[in-house]
Amino acid sequence: MPTFVYMTRCDGCGHCVDICPSDIMHIDEVSRRAYNIEPNMCWECYSCVKACPMNAIDVRGYADFAPLGHSVRVRRDEEKGVIAWRIIFRNGKKDFELLAPITTKPWGTAIPNLKQAGAPSNDMKNSQLLYNEPKYIRLDDGDLHTLESNGLKFKEGVYY
Amino acid sequence: MAYDTIIEDNIDVLVVGAGLGGTGAAFEARYWGPDKKIVIAEKANIDRSGAVAQGLYAINCYMGTRFGENNPEDHVRYARIDLMGMVREDLLFDMARHVDSAVHQFEEWGLPIMRNEKTGTYQREGRWQIMIHGESYKPIVAEAAKKSADKVYNRICVTHLLMDESKENRVAGAVGFNVRTGNYHVFKSKTVIVGAGGASNIYKPRSVGEGAGRVWYAPWSSGSAYGLLIQAGAKMTQMENRIVLARFKDGYGPVGAYFLHLKTYTQNGYGEEYESKWFPELQKMVGKEYLDPEASHRTHRPIPTCLRNHAFIQEVNAGRGPIHMVTMEAFQDPHLEEIGWHNFLGMTVGQAVLWAATDVDPKYENPELTTSEPYVMGSHATGCGAWCSGPEDLSPKEYFWGYNRMTTVEGLFGAGDAVGGTPHAFSSGSFTEGRLAAKAACKYIDDGKAEGIRVSSEQIERRREEIYRPLETYRVYRNAITAGTVNPHYINPRQGLDRLQKLMDEYCGGVTVSYMTNEKLLNIGLKKLAILNEDWENGIAAENIHELLRAWELKHRILTSEAVFQHTLFREETRWPGYYYRGDKLKLDDENWHVLTVSRRDPKTGEYTMEKAPLYHLVDEKEEAEAS
């Protein structure tokens, strides 16, 4: 099955159940630990793997085309703002790590509260502009593009 | 049944489905409606839901107007030729003129966007694509949506929209159930923005087991964008325009960065370039206006994706497969090799898993490509979705009825996959559409269009009963048999999905028939689909709440599929060879079919009506003056 859960590591906390976009990580009633109830609806998206505080979840490639003996592991760290991967081939000849940033700002601090952005004026409401436009589109004083500003018009019929 | 009914009342803007479109809507709605009640209903967990749950390694729609790179009309022309002319250019222009402001906000929120060190601009992958470290793309935009929304309901499977009973054809909210508690949720709202997803898994996949999960589009994309809108009687457009993807075999890893940035290319099993030799014949099918390799070479006008697929499919069928991606040259550069792997880890980890499992090192071996099963969606290189109004300052009269991105049902808006005729929106464009819909929805309310909405308790009770019926069916008939899943009274959701996939594949141009269909096949398929729908109505059984979720996803997939059949039957030509073929009408026919197809399913009778809508194209005023 695409994701699976190691018996000795899972403590049944349910983080994976909470995050799985496909609703397929459930808690087994007998073992009180998580498992993948529907492997053919698993996208191998790794959301549960990344969310597991016990590193208890791993992925074994789809049985209908992926042979056994490989490994793609991940650690995601919001505080440090990075994600680290390790890929090991089935034949062991390739074993490498890759690191990537996941954010450039301290997590969750850089998003404005639009309630405090000030109510838009009527002019703004009746224009075609969205929040923070046009300055977020262009650096100069230009306005939003229109048919007129760009010398265009709509014609019905066959044009290519 | 002991499930509670939980009513959320007096909502102004209800966002159904919070992927990139829905998060954009929720975020922006707060600005235009500081005091409005904004509520999100999401099937999964907003932090990892929708098509971007896994992350992305590129933003595929960014103009770079700030850096003088492109204007909106450049993008419109690109999407137009890629879709063989069949796009809503007003909606596309509108999306393109706003999309940069979404991307600049993402960067401010912490999304790592790569920079070109020489020019200071964003690192381009191609003309429209920029490269990002987007593992946390979705959690970041989810933060923005959560900050704006009054309430976020995770794990609500929305099954139906509520309709106003005082005024015909006006929306009044939505209903669904919680996939954890089972409780019934009623959302009474003045406006609804549908940001739900397109449809994976309606065609039989190439995979035969677990790999059915490794679909190109997320398996949780259940066509709810279409199911919800079709049920409400909204008009749909371009539903025949399903998409087939040429991707790395089995893992469906993306090829965009490989082609554009790593400069890898394809060849057949014998190491030969194969594409160009299919073009002369193909040109006879579609006309020189759509396929002119010389002009493309001169002007950088792209060769439409579907036509490149066509060459791929023909070459394989001629016995010269497999098609390989030539990676062995680019991957000798360690920097490019690293990008190649990062590209998968950022958005399709499964492809990295597959290469590790099969010892495919693209530095020493050229990996295989394949063409996927078809998908029905509206934000990648295809434009299925609802027939929506465009913005006031752009849209011709046939495309405009008051509020931007409003469907033909009053108060009901769309974003992302839900909006038809707007391909190449991708993540950033979908988010932008959500923002546009949110502004329009707030204006709709401020204009007093949502006054006097009435929803009877009868409507709420009727839906409640309908929603839980599959559980009841299971309870009543389960003990007619000893054990197992074979029961003469019902089918389970998986069995229903298998039947749907098989009939879509065989009658509506799936992969096992090389994407071929015709009028005869379509009519047989429609009959079979109607019977599947009957079986669903009378005998779909859910053993538990999770299966109830799958049952309703299947319902939305069936509704989507019916629209695909109807539209494919209506358009009597082969507009997109490589996506699908009407064997009885193998030529592109601009004389009769240079139009958009528009359908409506009557919610009371289930009858379809089809019509043609005119195509308007952007033309240069100057050129136009010179021509005349």
- B window 79-108, beta carbon within 8 A of A: 80-81, 85, 89-90, 93-94, 97-98, 100-101, 104-105, 107-108
DSSP B509: T
Collect all residues with Cβ–Cβ distance below 8 Å to B291 and sequence separation of at least 6. B279, B282, B283, B303, B304, B307
Residues of A with Cβ-Cβ distance to B391 under 8 angstroms: 128
| Cα B366 from Cα B14, distance rounded (Å) | 48
Same domain as B146, residue B222: yes
| Separation CA B242–CA B568 (nearest Å) | 10
> By three-state DSSP, how is residue B368 classified?
strand
Q: What is the pLDDT of residue B627?
A: 64
Please report the pLDDT score of residue B66 as a whole number.
87
Say whether B212 and A40 touch across the interface (CB within 8 A).
Answer: yes
Which chain B residue is nearest to residue A2, measuring alpha carbons?
A: B210
Residues of A in contact with B100 (CB under 8 A): 136-137
Residue B603 lies in a domain: no
Boundaries of domain holding B393: 5-240+375-446
Is there a contact between A119 and B210 if contact means CB atoms under 8 Å apart? no
Is the predicted pLDDT of residue B296 greater than 90, yes or no?
Answer: no
Residue B611 within any structural domain of the chain: no
**CATH number for position B130:** 3.50.50.60
Residues B230, B266 share a domain: no
Q: Which of A28, A31, A43, A138 is catalytic?
A: A43
Tens digits of residue pLDDT in B380-436: 999 999 999 999 999 999 999 999 999 999 999 999 999 999 999 999 999 999 999
Do B99 and B199 belong together in one domain? yes
Same domain, B441 and B548: no
Would you call A43 a catalytic residue per the annotation? yes
Name the pLDDT band for A156 (thresholds 50, 70, 90): very high
- From chain B residues 447-506, the ones with a CB under 8 A of any chain A CB are none
| Contact check, Cβ <8 Å, B210/A107 | no
Residue B197 has pLDDT above 90, yes or no: yes
Residues 27-86 of B with CB under 8 A from A: 27-28, 30-32, 34, 43-45, 47-50, 53-54, 65-66, 71-73, 80-81, 85
CA distance B345 to A98: 9
Mean pLDDT of B327-332: 95
Closest to B464 (Cα-Cα) out of B223, B225, B231, B186: B186
Contacts of B425 (CB under 8 A, 6+ apart): B61, B95, B378, B379, B416, B419, B432, B433
Banded pLDDT at B200 (limits 50, 70, 90): very high
Average pLDDT (B110-124) is: 95
Residue B48 tokens, joined: 């990892």
Residue B604 lies in a domain: no
Examine the pLDDT at B500 and tell me if it is beyond 60.
yes
Whole-number Å distance between alpha carbons of A72 and A59: 7
Domain co-membership, B426 together with B496? no
Residues B433 and B425 sit within 8 Å (Cβ to Cβ): yes
Q: What pLDDT score does B628 carry? A: 58
Same domain, B197 and B298: no
CB proximity under 8 Å: B 223-252 to A:
250
d(CA B206, CA B352): 19
Residue A1 has pLDDT above 70, yes or no: no
Say if residue B81's pLDDT is above 70.
Answer: yes
ipTM of the shown complex? 0.97
How far is it, in rounded angstroms, from Cα B332 to Cα B344? 18
List chain A residues with CB under 8 Å of B155: 23
Decide: B486 and B469 in contact? Cβ < 8 Å. no
- The minimal CB distance from A153 to the residues B48, B101, B624 is found for B624
| Domain-located, residue B494 | yes
Residue ending a domain, among B431, B446, B461, is B446
Using the Cα atoms of residue B330, residue B334, residue B339 and residue B340 in order, give the sign of their dihedral.
Answer: positive
Q: Judge: B357–A158 Cβ closer than 8 Å, yes or no.
A: no
Residues B85 and B229 in one domain: yes
Contact between B211 and A160 using a beta-carbon 8 Å cutoff: no
Mean pLDDT value across residues B315-333: 97
Shared-domain flag, residues B296 and B325: yes
Q: What is the CATH number of the domain that holds B494?
A: 1.20.58.100
Domain annotation for chain A: domains and CATH numbers: 3-101 (3.30.70.20), 112-152 (no CATH)
Predicted pLDDT of residue B621: 85
- B140 and B215, same structural domain? yes
pLDDT tens figures, B218-253: 999 999 999 999 999 999 999 999 999 999 999 999
Share of chain B above pLDDT 70, in %: 99
Query: Who among A1, A2, A90 is closest to B356 (CB)?
Result: A90
Domain boundary at B371, B396, B422, which?
Answer: B371
Q: How many domains does chain B fold into?
A: 3
* pLDDT reported for residue A154: 96
User: Looking at the complex, does the CB of residue A87 fall below 8 Å from at least one CB of chain B?
Assistant: yes
Q: What tokens appear for B379 in the block?
A: 């934000």
Counting Cα atoms < 13 Å in the Cβ hemisphere of B5 gives 16
Distance CA B470, CA B47 (A): 29
Residues B305 and B208 in one domain: no
Q: What is the mean pLDDT of chain B?
A: 96
**Residue in B45, B50, B48, B40 with CA at minimum distance from that of residue B19:** B50
CB atoms within 10 A of CB B260: 17
For residue B439, pLDDT over 80 is answered with yes
Q: Is residue B612 part of a domain?
A: no
Q: In this complex, which of A65, A83, A103 lies closest to B211 when CB atoms are compared?
A: A65
Rounded to the nearest angstrom, the minimum Cα separation between B359 and chain A is 6
- B310 shares its domain with B203: no
Range 43-72 of A in CB contact (< 8 A) with B: 43-47, 59, 61-72
- Report chain A's terminal Cα–Cα distance, integer Å: 48
Asked if B82 and B173 sit in the same domain, the reply is yes
**Least confident span in A96-105, A151-160, B229-238, B276-285:** A151-160
Give the percent of chain A with pLDDT over 70: 99
Asked if residue B174 belongs to a domain, the reply is yes
Strands B265-267 and B595-601: unpaired
At B92-103, the pLDDT tens digits run 999 999 999 999
pLDDT score for B375:
98
Contact of A1 with chain B, judged by CB distance below 8 Å, is answered with yes
Phi, psi of B61 (to 5 degrees): -135, 100
